[in-house]
Homo-oligomer: A and B are copies of this chain.
Amino acid sequence: MNIFIIGLGLIGGSLAKSLRSSGFADEIIGFDRAAENLSFCLENKLIDGAAEVLEGAKAADIIILATPVDGILELMPALLDQLDEQVVVDMGSTKKEIVELASKHPKGQNFVAAHPMAGIENSGPAASFEQLFTDKVAIICNPEKNARMPLNLVKLLFKALNMKLIYMDAEEHDKDLAYLSHLSHILSFSLALTAYNVEDKERNIYNLAGGGFASTVRLAGSSAAMWNPIFLQNKDNMLEALDLYISNLSLFKEHIQNEDKEGLNQLMEKSNTIYKIINQSL
């Protein structure tokens, strides 16, 4: 299978490594707007060659869009315009706008809207690794909009990555992900900013940061280029999630303000119960 990967960051680089080692890919060609990503992948033999977008897409069997989600909205219709015999699949973290755009395209049935739920706080091809996707969940949105063959090819691709497939409606996907992924990133970014506000250069309080802070602040290392268009494409759900979150946080604040021990206990014990349920799924 000849694979063309557009966007050679953490996801694109890890796809190249994993699809090659699994034997799914016979040839991997890549493209990235950033010259350093492209040359890293060529020098480290993650890809067999480089090509411009249209040229690479025409020569490939499967075209993978592994760019930030604003790039997917831009590239997907341009590619579908030019391609007839190829599958285009995206790896984006938002799905509603992307599925809507594909629905309007006459060749939209050849575009599979996917979201491999795998990522770390580090970005770029140097952070990529072969096992990034192993045993993680891959979501395919609105498979009923696809022709049978493109869908089957993408299913086999995720199987080669050792991922568990789930099917969802794009709108539902974006709502759930607002709470289960996008919100967590904003919380971490905000925690880093807040800790910075109180940092005293003389004392360097970061030296005191323990394991609890470390895990909560981890996502603050995430790429702005990736997350900016996610937050904006998922605007309505993000605003709803942030409002709900701020109201929960304000309950804590109110109970602390009033020294309401019982109220605090109830909030924390409810949270403990939820954590136990969540933890069984994690």
Point out residues on A near B: beta carbons under 8 Å.
117-121, 136-137, 139, 166, 172, 175-177, 179-181, 183-198, 203-224, 227-228, 231-232, 235, 238-239, 241-246, 248-250, 252-253, 256-257, 259, 261, 264-265, 267-272, 274-282
A219: B residues at CB distance < 8 A: 212, 215-216
Q: Are B253 and A239 in contact (CB under 8 A)?
A: yes
A173 to chain B, nearest CB (A): 9
Report which of B214, B224, B249 forms a contact with A186, defined as CB distance below 8 A: B249
Interface of A is mostly: helix
Across the A-B interface, the 7 shortest Cβ-Cβ residue pairs:
A224-B268, A220-B275, A184-B216, A206-B281, A189-B271, A190-B248, A192-B274
A277 B206 Cβ-Cβ under 8 A: yes
Q: Specify how many copies of this chain sit in the oligomer.
A: 2
Question: Does B118 lie within 8 Å of A210, measured CB to CB?
Answer: yes
- Assess the A198–B175 pair: CB atoms within 8 A: yes
Q: Which residues of B contact A172 (CB under 8 A)?
A: 203
Given A198-B244, A241-B194, also A224-B256 (CB < 8 A): no
Contact A224 B282 (CB under 8 A): no
- Picked from B206, B272, B274, the residue with its CB within 8 Å of the CB of A278 is B206
Task: Indicate if the CB atoms of B195 and A209 lie closer than 8 Å.
Answer: no
Give the complex CA separation of A252 and B172 in angstroms: 23
The answer to whether B259 touches A250, judged by C-beta atoms less than 8 angstroms apart, is: no
26 contacts between A and B (CB under 8 A): A120-B211, A166-B208, A176-B205, A179-B195, A180-B205, A184-B212, A184-B213, A187-B187, A187-B191, A192-B274, A192-B275, A193-B267, A193-B271, A194-B244, A194-B248, A195-B278, A206-B278, A214-B282, A215-B219, A216-B219, A228-B268, A232-B259, A235-B256, A239-B253, A242-B249, A246-B253
User: Is A180 in contact with B210, judged by CB distance below 8 angstroms?
Assistant: yes
A186 vs B275: C-alpha distance in the bound complex, in angstroms? Answer: 13
Distance (whole angstroms) from the CB of A208 to the closest CB of chain B: 5
Q: Tell me, rounded to whole Å, the shortest Cβ–Cβ distance linking A92 to chain B.
A: 14
Closest Cβ neighbor of A176 among chain B residues? B205
Which of B248, B250, B272 is A221 in contact with, Cβ under 8 Å? B272
**In the assembled complex, which residues on chain B have CB atoms less than 8 Å from the CB atom of A189?**
252, 267-268, 271
- Return the contact of A252 from the options B118, B242, B249 (Cβ within 8 A): B242
